[in-house]
């Protein structure tokens, strides 16, 4: 498969009692389909994967595949800092019909580059589901070196890399070593990264504005960076406000402000500080004026 465009890093909605709200999940997926996204990413960081148990994790992926029903791609979050767990989750994703899997850099145990290479290779070779490497050193403590990505790109089951290290230069560095697909991992860097060769974005903001994120990446893909930049500037403050606290706290707060979900988290995540929530709402009123009722 070819990966490009907008993939939405889905939130996982909870009921007031703290259970996964599968009915609401289906509603959110229909919003994404209507917005024209190329794919959705259940149970990634934005989906609060660290606080879902294994049964919930698997069911969210299964329900997502079932609801989407081939109308867009499903990139299942199945990474772990234990290779056996990553393999088990990825096998399940393959069995229920996911198109590919997102493999985060193993966190906390701080593997070497050789360890990363062996870990990702094991998942790719064992599960026979295309994998997307996920470089996010700010959360995991360890980057995937560009040279390691180049080594892994030789594996036919390594589809792409989600680059969330905050550096546009990384895109050029990676593409100077291999021809792997690079997907931006930060909404505010989508246009800059696509200008130097990234193929799209795995987006948090598209939980709320999927249509305009799709337009922005389509403009970039066509080389119309003037139009893409106009959308980037329109939403830049919103992109940044969604990370005023740890993701996915602000995006869930934003969706709750719009009446789309209950503002429920699982510890250690909790509701935003009032000052930050007020700032987020102010940015939303500025950037989303005319699109939503507040």
Nearest-angstrom CA–CA distance, 197 and 163: 12
Alpha-carbon distances of 26 from 21, 30, 60, rounded to whole Å: 9, 6, 10
Q: Cα angle at 262 between 261 and 267, to 5 degrees?
A: 120
The three-class DSSP label of residue 103 is strand
Is the omega angle on the peptide bond into residue 111 within 30 degrees of 0, that is, cis? no
Nearest-angstrom CA–CA distance, 227 and 160: 26
Nearest-angstrom CA–CA distance, 69 and 204: 22
Is the omega angle on the peptide bond into residue 157 within 30 degrees of 0, that is, cis? no
3-state secondary structure 265-279: CCCCCCCCCHHHHHH
Tell whether the torsion through CA atoms of 260, 286, 38 and 36 is positive or negative: positive
Contact at 8 Å (CB) between 257 and 45?
no
Structure tokens at 80: 């772990």
Of 134, 214, 235, 252, the catalytic one is 134
Nearest-angstrom CA–CA distance, 134 and 112: 16
- Residue 45's contacts (CB-CB under 8 Å, 6 or more residues apart) are 9, 77, 104, 136, 139, 247, 248
Of 162, 199, 215, 252, the catalytic one is 162
Is 22 part of the annotated catalytic residue set? no
Is 162 part of the annotated catalytic residue set? yes
Q: Which residues are catalytic?
A: 134, 162
């Amino acid at each position: 498969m070819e990966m490009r465009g907008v993939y939405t890093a889905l939130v996982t909605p909870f009921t007031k009692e703290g259970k996964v709200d599968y009915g609401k999940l289906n509603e959110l997926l229909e919003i994404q389909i209507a917005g024209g996204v190329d794919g959705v990413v259940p149970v990634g960081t934005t989906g609060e994967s660290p606080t879902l148990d294994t049964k919930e994790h698997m069911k969210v992926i299964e329900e997502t595949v079932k609801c989407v029903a081939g109308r867009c791609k499903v990139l299942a979050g199945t990474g772990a800092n234990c290779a056996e767990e990553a393999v088990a989750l990825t096998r399940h994703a393959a069995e229920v019909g996911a198109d590919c899997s997102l493999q985060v850099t193993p966190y906390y145990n701080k593997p070497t580059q050789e360890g990363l290479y062996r870990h990702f290779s094991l998942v790719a070779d064992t599960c026979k589901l295309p994998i997307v490497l996920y470089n996010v050193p700010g959360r995991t403590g360890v980057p995937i070196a560009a040279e390691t990505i180049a080594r892994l790109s030789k594996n036919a089951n390594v589809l792409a890399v989600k680059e969330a290290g905050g550096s546009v230069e990384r895109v050029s560095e990676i593409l100077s070593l291999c021809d792997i697909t690079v997907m931006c991992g930060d909404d505010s860097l989508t246009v800059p990264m696509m200008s130097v060769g990234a193929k799209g974005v795995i987006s948090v903001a598209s939980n709320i504005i999927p249509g305009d994120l799709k337009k922005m990446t389509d403009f970039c893909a066509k080389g119309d960076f003037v139009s893409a930049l106009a959308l980037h500037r329109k939403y830049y403050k919103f992109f940044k406000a969604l990370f005023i606290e740890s993701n996915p706290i602000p995006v869930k707060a934003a969706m709750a402000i719009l009446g789309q979900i209950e503002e429920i988290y699982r510890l250690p995540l909790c509701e935003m500080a009032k000052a930050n929530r007020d700032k987020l709402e102010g940015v939303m009123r500025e950037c989303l004026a005319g699109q939503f009722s507040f």
